Structure formats: structure tokens, C-alpha cells
Structure 1
Amino acid sequence: MKVPFFITRSGHYDPIVAVRFIVLFNAVTLGFQSVSGIGRSQSVDFISEGGRNDYPIRIPKPQTEPHRLTFKRGYQMRKLSITGLLAGYVGSQAIEAKDALGLILVLDESQSIKAIYSFISQGVVEWEVSNLDATRSEPLIETFTITHKGLKNIPIPSLF
């Protein structure tokens, strides 16, 4: 298996190039360390048609489990400001909103959009923060999972 290899214009290896992304909830831009669960799966049954049994026919099953996306972000302790508090409040309200339009924009090194994934959020179903430990200087990591109504890959028109 080949490992992705990304070289910047200056000739240095840069693994971050592959994972630049922006997440929007109801047009509010939020920063995240990682997003997982981007994908699609469909349960199917196979049946044989009477008189034509040379191959099975694929029948999609109804979705039994909700689609999920998990987001992680870190917080550093800084001097609080009214602007920071308002931005955090607006961001939290956008994440918590049911039927919020979500977009994940994947960018390349030159900040050009390479992929867009859209979803309609059904709200937060799991939320957790990392352990609080005053003896360590690690950032607080917030992890939450939403359910959604299905992920769509929006095609990006090619300019070439």
C-alpha cells in the first residue's frame, strides 16, 4: 500500500495538505480537528426472479441505523472576550439546530475547493469533552456526533 506523499512548492513534505477542510452549519463557519463518518452504505437483499435465475436481483433495504458524523475540536484557554463568547454561542446554536444545512469543504494547498459534501443535520446525539487535568497543558478536546439525513457529494466543475 502506498502512503500519500505531499510536497509543497518549497520542496518540503507536508501531510497537512491532504486534510485542509472547512465545516459550515447553517452558513456559520466552524473549525475542527477532525471529521469522521464521511461515507455512505446501503444494506441490500438479493432475490431470485421467477423464471430468470441466472443472477440475483439486488433490492435495497430501508435504512435501519441513522447516518452519523463525528466532529472533534480543541480549545485553548485564552482571555475571554465578548466577541469570542458570541462566536462560541452562535457556533453552538448552529451545531445544535435540527435540520441545519451542513457543508464540508475540502481544500487543496492553494485553498481551491476540491470536494464538497452536504448533509442535513438531525441534531447532536452524543457529546463529550476530554478529561480535565490541571497538571497537564493539553487543550480541551470536544467531541460530538450528529445524525443526518444522508451525505451528498456535490460535483466540482473542472476548469480544465
Structure 2
Amino acid sequence: MNLLDPKHVLSHRFGVFFFESGVIPNMMDIRFQKVSGLHAEMTMDSVTEGGENLYTHRIPKRVSYNNLVLERGIVNLSPLSLSFNATFSLFKFSPSNVLVTLFNDKNIPVSAWMFLKAIPVKWSFGDLDANANTVEIETMELSYTRFQTITI
């Protein structure tokens, strides 16, 4: 397997697009250093059949999702930072849809994930260290109702 083969998509070209009120794109908050939490898992129930001792039936119960975690250098007064501030300072929530898009080397979208009704659930900042000379990173974590893969 050749990882530099043009058929393989590298994971470092991506954009994150927030749709305020679900429809209006926020073009200021699209660049992030890292995105994680692209994970869905089916929860299963086990049902035993009377008289059957060799196995149990496994039946799908529900889908569960991890939180979407975004990391970037601190951006002051961006719409996303203001939304997080309103959530954690005023307990005001404005759910938004979030589109994470993966691009190829020609900046053409090749895959995407849409996260529906996302709301902030955690906001953290890196340690302040007078001996370090690094970019201060803020981590934004969102909960959402579900996500779907968009085929491009």
C-alpha cells in the first residue's frame, strides 16, 4: 500500500463550516488545527431465546456518538467564540449545523460529515507557561443529535 498514491486522501486538508441557525454559513471560523470525534457506534441488545443455550440474538438498539472536538489557536471576537461565550457565561444556546469537509491536494471536496444541531458542551484552553514559546490552543467540544456522511 503506497500512502502517496493519488487514490488515497490525506487527512490534513479540511475545513469546518458552521451554519448559524442551521442555514447561514459562518466563514470566519473554518480553520482548525485538529478535528476529532468522528465516531458513531451502534448499541446492541441481547435477547435470549427460550431453550437456546448456544447463542443470544443481538438486536440493534440505538446509535451513540462521541462529541465533536475542535482545536485551534485562540481567535478573539469570532462568531464561534461569541457563541461559546454566550453558552458558558449566559447559558444561552444556539444550535448550529456543522459541516466538516475533507479536501484533496487540488482543494476539491472528497468527503464530508454533517453534524446536526450541535451545541457547545466544553471549552478549554492550553496551559499558560512563561517558559514555553507555543501558540495558545483553545479546544471546543460540541454535542450533536446525529451526524451523517455526505458522499461527494
TM-score by length of 1: 0.69
- Aligned residue pairs total 136
Separation in 2, partners of 1:107, 1:66: 24
CA RMSD of the aligned region, Å?
3.1
- Report the CA distance shift for 1:103/1:122 in structure 2 as closer, same or farther (over 3 A): closer
1:90 aligns with 2:79: yes
Pick aligned residue for 1:117 from 91, 113, 118: 113
Q: Give 1:56 shift.
A: 4.4
1:104 Cα offset (Å): 0.3
Structure 2 gap ranges (5+): 20-24, 88-92
Q: Which runs of 5+ in 1 are unaligned?
A: 9-15, 76-83
1:146 aligns with 142
**Aligned residues: percent identity?**
26
The aligned runs of 1:7-156 (5 Å cut-off) are 17-26=10-19, 27-29=25-27, 30-49=30-49, 56-62=56-62, 67-75=66-74, 88-93=77-82, 97-156=93-152
Over 3 Å counting, the alpha-carbon distance change for 1:7 and 1:94 in structure 2 is: farther
Asked if the contact 2:40/2:65 (under 8 Å) is kept, the reply is no
Higher percent of residues as helix:
1
Q: Distance in 2 between matches of 1:53 and 1:135?
A: 63
